[in-house]
Amino acid sequence: MNLKGVHFIDLGLVEYQKCWDFQTKLFDETVQQKIHNRKTPQKLINTKNHLIFCEHPHVYTLGKSGDESNLLINQKEQEAKKVTFFKTNRGGDITYHGPGQLVVYPILDLDYFFSDIHKYLRYLEESVILTLKDYGLTGKRLDGLTGVWIANQNGIDRKICAIGVKSSRWVTMHGIGFNINSDLSYFNNIIPCGIEDKSVTSLQQELGRKVDMNELKNRFKTNFTNIFKVELLEP
């Protein structure tokens, strides 16, 4: 079977704005190529697909339809905690990114896969669920909500992965924040994803030990490539 190629890059720890600019450049290039292909089909050039891994310094990001009141600290408090805040053009409400969290930004031309954004979101969730399974944990979806949760013994669902994306002309950007070795105290300053009756967790908290990030990344890459039926093209 011929697998689709996806260009992979791990940016490591990178400022949110710098990575957003990088994503936007790749996203715009893909959209413009699709417009060009549609206008001049005789000179068709295949678009490129990308997968970005990174971690961010402490930052809160708000989706385009999110409620800023879900950020519970003011500018001075943000400065004291050395955390920044951005309003973004992705879907979803407010979330936190920080060191120890795996952030994944797929920039995919879904015309190569399937023209179904809901299916795309379910595939992202499944990549996380399968990775949790690798560590002996059962991830779950909640009806009407995007992301991945773990069920507690007392019935309280704990969110371990937030998902928010943007799509235009079936090209995606933004993606997931998967809590691995995250400092969960930063979630106390927001109402995560605008959902008041759920808590958050991390892989470290669930396992009771720090997780090897390189091992985690490799497992996620394997699950992502199997779900999307792609081959990662590494630099």
The Cβ of residue 106 has, within 10 Å, a number of other Cβ atoms equal to: 24
> Is the Cβ–Cβ distance between 163 and 92 less than 8 Å?
yes
Catalytic position from the list 19, 54, 161, 193: 193
Clarify whether 193 is annotated catalytic: yes
> Is the Cβ–Cβ distance between 158 and 200 less than 8 Å?
yes
Spatial distance between the Cα atoms of 93 and 87, rounded to a whole number of angstroms: 10
222: its two tokens: 């394997």
Q: Strands across the sheet with 94-97, in order?
A: 84-87, 59-62, 94-97
- Name the CA dihedral angle for 53, 55, 56, 59, rounded to a multiple of 10 degrees: 100
Q: Which active-site residues does the annotation give?
A: 193
